[in-house]
């Protein structure tokens, strides 16, 4: 794992709504997010372009009556029905 200034592999960012769980073989962060986005396009708007995050990252959509779990696979946030 590259030296990113954190003492633990799993860490968060002050005021952020995500946690970094580790990194992939290219050094991209594997992250877990939570928010109100409900599809690939709205997740990208919420968390940033796909190249910022490793495949295997997780997004929890916390919407009343429509909670969903998404996994980033091949740069697409995929609904894990």
The whole-angstrom separation of Cα 41 and Cα 23 is 23
Q: What is the pLDDT of residue 65?
A: 86
Residue whose pair of structure tokens reads 């030296």 in the numeric block: 3
Q: What is the pLDDT of residue 18?
A: 83
In angstroms and rounded to an integer, the radius of gyration of the C-alpha atoms of the chain is 13
Q: How far apart are the first and last CA of the chain?
A: 32
Mean per-residue pLDDT pooled into runs of 10, the chain (81 residues)? 52 69 91 93 94 95 90 96 85
**Residue 7 in tokens:** 């003492």
Does this model's pTM top 0.75?
Answer: yes
Q: Are 10 and 21 in contact (CB under 8 A)?
A: yes
Q: What is the pLDDT of residue 1?
A: 45
Give the list of residues 6+ apart from residue 26 with CB closer than 8 angstroms, or none.
54
């Amino acid at each position: 794992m590259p030296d990113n200034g954190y003492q633990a592999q799993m860490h968060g960012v002050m005021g952020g709504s995500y946690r970094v769980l580790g990194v992939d073989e290219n050094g991209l962060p594997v992250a877990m997010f939570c928010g109100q986005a409900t599809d690939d396009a709205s997740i990208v708007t919420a968390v940033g372009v796909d190249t910022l995050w490793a495949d295997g990252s997780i997004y929890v959509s916390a919407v009343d009556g429509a909670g969903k779990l998404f996994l980033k696979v091949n740069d697409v946030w995929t609904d894990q029905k």
